[in-house]
Structure 1
Amino acid sequence: MRRAATFGAVAFALTAIGFGVLAEPGLDNGSVSGLSFLGESVTGADIAAGEALYAESCASCHGAELEGQPDWRRRLDNGRMPAPPHDETGHTWHHSDRNLFIVTKGGVGAIVPGYESDMPAFEDILTDDEIADVLSYIKSTWPDRQREFQAEVSANDKGDL
């Protein structure tokens, strides 16, 4: 048990160091291969910033591991839907960058007028760049299959922001 705990602590420390290096000013924070948001390349620094913002602004509902709320497909007593997962088990990757951005910024009602949701609009909480970083972090956690599907959906979405 002690060996597993030690291994876990070392793995966590190395991950934290890795994200720290990615976000370090003055270092090469080149684009992450195959990852873009709204057509712009995503860097390791964008992902690290997005992970911190996700933990601060999103994890309380969508889960620290992007797992969503329990029974997320079943309506709550108030008639609203629980927060869905943002990992590959959810439906986030079925939506275009544009739609994900609009929902995050303006709430679900910005896409589906009149729809009632517990999801707040983040337009007065996060900047557009911060929203892009959070969504880039979420996308960075998906397996290649989900990323590729979502990239195609985004490429086919020609709407305006």
Structure 2
Amino acid sequence: MVTAVKKKALIVGAVGILALGIGAYLYGTLTNSDDTYIDPFDQTLVALGKNVYANNCAACHGAKLEGQPDWRIRQANGRLPAPPHDETGHTWHHPDAVLIDIIKNGLVPGVTAPPGYVSDMPAYGNILTDHDIAAVLAYIKSSWPKQALAAQKEITLQPPQ
């Protein structure tokens, strides 16, 4: 015979398992990388991105996505110059979700940069809309060769680990 305490424990356990299942499902749904892939072949998005880039990014990252000179060598203040966003840089090594986070929040030590890292990259989350950020990334990605695009798309579409 099941006592009231055992019955209550079984119910609490079942509710807990159900809650974990729902949480796992929601986490998978909300972090689905398919939702964050930005299409560099969307010409409307690319055209908007070109304008947003020119007005907000080109001053540091270059009008032709070329970055600042010697972008891999630390400046006197210990910071690195702005990297290029063309295929010679490392932008295409990152999934779209990371690139979106960097644009929105800047380089955050311990999150999108090594602990203690200091950067001149400003946060644009209060300046640009999500659509503007997607447009900038579509514009940047539209300049990459097929191999870089394919590699970056694969990284972006990998399921969360």
Shared fold per TM-score greater than 0.5: yes
Which residue number corresponds to residue 127 of structure 2? 125
The CA distance in 1 between the partners of 2:38 and 2:77, in whole Å, is: 39
TM-score with structure 1 setting the length: 0.72
The CA distance in 2 between the partners of 1:131 and 1:124, in whole Å, is: 11
Question: Identity percentage over the alignment?
Answer: 52
* Structure 1 residue ranges, 4+ long, deviating more than 6 angstroms after superposition: none
The CA distance in 2 between the partners of 1:85 and 1:40, in whole Å, is: 19
How far the C-alpha of 1:37 sits from its partner, in A, is 7.5
Which residue number corresponds to residue 151 of structure 2? 149
How far the C-alpha of 1:44 sits from its partner, in A, is 0.9
Question: RMSD of aligned C-alpha atoms?
Answer: 1.8
Structure 2 residue 104 is matched with structure 1 residue 105: yes
Contact 1:75 1:82 in 2 (8 A): yes
Output the amino acid matched with 2:142: S
Larger Rg: 2
TM-score with structure 2 setting the length: 0.72
The CA distance in 1 between the partners of 2:38 and 2:70, in whole Å, is: 35
Bigger RCO (CA 8 Å, 6+ sep)? 2
Higher strand share: 1
- Unpaired runs of 5+ in structure 2? 1-33
- Unpaired runs of 5+ in structure 1? 1-35
How far the C-alpha of 1:40 sits from its partner, in A, is 5.5
User: Could you report, residue by residue, the CA deviation over 1:56-107 in whole angstroms, capped at 9, with x for unpaired residues?
Assistant: 0000000000000000000011101100000000000000001000001000
The CA distance in 1 between the partners of 2:112 and 2:75, in whole Å, is: 21
Alignment length, in residue pairs? 124
How far the C-alpha of 1:158 sits from its partner, in A, is 2.4
